[in-house]
Amino acid sequence: DNSLANFHSEMDGCETCHTKPRHVTDSETHENMQCKSCHGEYSDLANSELHFDPHTSHLGDINCTSCHKGHEAPKFQCNNCHSFEDDKMPFAEAKKKPKWDKGWDNEKIKKAIAAGPVETTDVVVIGAGSAGFNAAISAKRAGAKVILFEKAPYSGGNSMLAAGGINAVGTRQQKERGIEDKVEWYAEDAMKGGRYKNDPALVKILAEESASAVEWLESLGANMDGLKRSGGARVNRTHRPSGGHSVGPHIIDVLRKAAAKEQVDTRLNSKVVKLVLDNQDNNKVIGVVIHGKHSGHYMVAADSVVLATGGYGMNKEMIAYYRPTFKDMTSSNNVTATGDGILLAKEAGASMTDIDWVQAHPTIGKDSRILVSETVRGVGAIMVNVHGSRFINELTTRDRASDAILKQPEQWAWLVFDEQLISKKKMVRGYDHLGMLSKANSVEELAKITGMKNLPQTVSDYNKYKAQGKDEAFGRDLMPLSIEKGPFYAVRVQPGIHHTMGGVAINTESEVLNIQSRPMIGLYAAGEVTGGVHGFNRLGGNAIADTVIFGRRAGEHAAAHALKD
């Protein structure tokens, strides 16, 4: 057949790609090194002539085999969120079906447990997003032997798509700008945003450890020099890369490199399908069963296991069950966010908290899965209905903004801004690149092409409010930009699933609690797989904070448990 494997076998046989004797690891490390040795690094392959080049993608330095398959039809990872039908990959005609990820096989799981562990480690971390990487690096630095498993062919998880930033209080960045902030204010804002349903002990840690989380990321090489305001925060405390770039791809790149430097054993294409409990004490976790793409089912014994598998925003059945009114909504999440850790933990006897609380982000590009970051409103965009009239304070919390859009008869809205905003916010160029923006040389022309007949009046009123420093219509307190410098832009937005606030119940040590609310021995969790930190509604910038702070905590406690005595 016309597959990549066939083409290469004509060169130097199977050894062009594989080792001899043939041993393909789940991460396909050797195969990917072979690709790069002939074709160059990912960045070398960037083709500036293409309208869209996947090699310059925000996915970062991922495995070539994430998209290019040797013996299967190729699969554009990009098409999980975008649709680039016109960009054909070479060998797209290869027809073999993927042989992995056919679901869980209970018989094979049982056999793997009966056969006993093939490896032993101190700490297993499940999921290589921000929480998982932070846990793995912290556990490794604490002296533990660590294996980090990731089911996808690339690391990064949902964190890789985070647009906004990381909230923190008392940082160098705030001090340099003369911003007064307090740990208590951060905690109060998070509690108020969460409708006071959050666990105050977890929120206290989130606020207290936020500055050191930013310093930690910087110590690993991150640029966190940008500072913005997110909805529900009383001051600018969302830290992000300077220059307006998205936070997620940047910190994942930094964490990937840091994990490699610490020699964390990271295994891709490796889905954990079972938490193994002690026969004598079923409140104690003693290992995991993995389903590896090439190695099949096998058991690894571990003293500690950290769940960092993310939320369930891309699991349609779970959404339909826990939040039926959201079942037909689009989602901004990575395809990996399928709630696996929640299912694993439930089966092992863990308790869940706030499991049915799901956040709709108000501004996902209409009919798409692309998040239009909250910081676009923070930097200056206004939100208007199909007639061009404002209907809410754009900087209110996400649940309120989403509800307000859903109360509009059409259930979608426009964000409107001008050239000044684009020059401050580079990520907006990406939306333009994806064909999402309507553009005009005057507000009147924009009103005409979009049908927003009230827009000229709305913009004129808003510019007046900005000039006088008081929003008479909706009490918006931060209006950094007027809307007066052409070209003018508009993008259609609608609410979509963004974050699942509920999940596995944890205590302040990141230990998972059982249904009697007692810690399960050896089981830890961090990030979106957990519940309790965000209450009913998460504030922008608190997800990355959660993943870094509780990821580190989980890793440190998991290592301490594994290394004691």
Tokens of 467: 């000039």
Q: Which is nearer to ligand MEZ, 140 or 538 (CB)?
A: 538
Task: Give least dist CB 102 to ligand MEZ, A.
Answer: 32
Residue 292 and residue 270 in contact, taking contact as beta carbons nearer than 8 Å: yes
Nearest to 547 by CA among 310, 262, 345, 203: 310
User: Mask of contacts with ligand MEZ, 345-374, x by CB under 6 A?
Assistant: --------------------------x-xx
Q: Return the number of other C-beta atoms located less than 10 Å from residue 56's C-beta.
A: 14
Q: Which is nearer to ligand MEZ, 544 or 558 (CB)?
A: 544
Q: Which is nearer to ligand MEZ, 24 or 233 (CB)?
A: 233
Which residues 371-410 are close enough to bind ligand MEZ by CB under 6 A? 371, 373-375
Nearest to 39 by CA among 56, 64, 58: 64
- How many Å apart are CA 404 and CA 417, to the nearest integer? 20
Q: Give the sign of the dihedral formed by CA 54, CA 38, CA 3, CA 28.
A: negative
Q: Is 377 a catalytic residue?
A: no
Task: Give least dist CB 541 to ligand MEZ, A.
Answer: 5
Nearest to 337 by CA among 214, 497, 524: 497
- Count the residues of the shown chain that bind ligand MEZ, applying the rule CB under 6 A: 10
- Judged by CB under 6 A, does residue 230 bind ligand MEZ? yes
Q: Which is nearer to ligand MEZ, 341 or 540 (CB)?
A: 540
* β-bridge pairing 488-500 and 413-418: antiparallel
Q: Which is nearer to ligand MEZ, 211 or 247 (CB)?
A: 247
Task: Give least dist CB 45 to ligand MEZ, A.
Answer: 29
- Judged by CB under 6 A, does residue 491 bind ligand MEZ? no
- How many Å apart are CA 541 and CA 544, to the nearest integer? 6
Sole binder of ligand MEZ in the list 543, 554, 559, 562 (CB under 6 A): 543
Beta pairing partners, 438 = 490
Sole binder of ligand MEZ in the list 67, 131, 163, 319 (CB under 6 A): 163
Task: Give least dist CB 508 to ligand MEZ, A.
Answer: 22
- Judged by CB under 6 A, does residue 541 bind ligand MEZ? yes
- How many Å apart are CA 2 and CA 534, to the nearest integer? 50
Give the residue nearest to ligand MEZ (CB). 164
Nearby residues of 2 by Cβ (< 8 Å), 6 or more positions away: 91, 93, 94
Task: Give least dist CB 181 to ligand MEZ, A.
Answer: 17
DSSP E strand stretches across 337-487 = 352-353, 358-365, 382-384, 413-418, 437-440
Task: Give least dist CB 543 to ligand MEZ, A.
Answer: 5
Active-site residue identified among 323, 398, 476, 538:
398
- Judged by CB under 6 A, does residue 168 bind ligand MEZ? no
Q: Is 450 left (phi over 0), alpha (psi -120 to 50) or beta?
A: alpha
Task: Give least dist CB 248 to ligand MEZ, A.
Answer: 9
DSSP states of 138-152:
HHHHTT--EEEE-SS
Cβ-based burial of 407 (10 A; exposed 0-12, middle 13-18, buried ≥19): exposed
* β-bridge pairing 238-240 and 119-126: unpaired
Q: Which is nearer to ligand MEZ, 76 or 489 (CB)?
A: 489
- How many Å apart are CA 535 and CA 77, to the nearest integer? 32
Residue 34 and residue 16 in contact, taking contact as beta carbons nearer than 8 Å: yes
Sole binder of ligand MEZ in the list 54, 70, 117, 164 (CB under 6 A): 164
Q: Which is nearer to ligand MEZ, 59 or 350 (CB)?
A: 59
Q: Which is nearer to ligand MEZ, 543 or 554 (CB)?
A: 543
Task: Give least dist CB 301 to ligand MEZ, A.
Answer: 37
User: Mask of contacts with ligand MEZ, 184-203, x by CB under 6 A?
Assistant: --------------------
Q: Which is nearer to ligand MEZ, 308 or 415 (CB)?
A: 415
Task: For 268-288, give one letter per residue: b (16+ CB within 10 A) or e.
Answer: bbbbbbbbbbeeeeebbbbbb
Task: Give least dist CB 473 to ligand MEZ, A.
Answer: 23
Sole binder of ligand MEZ in the list 540, 549, 555, 558 (CB under 6 A): 540
- How many Å apart are CA 250 and CA 452, to the nearest integer? 37
- Judged by CB under 6 A, does residue 287 bind ligand MEZ? no
Part of the chain binding ligand MEZ (CB under 6 A), chosen from 81-89, 152-160, 408-416, 537-545: 537-545
User: Which residues participate in catalysis according to the annotation?
Assistant: 398
Residues that bind ligand MEZ (CB under 6 A): 163-164, 230, 371, 373-375, 540-541, 543
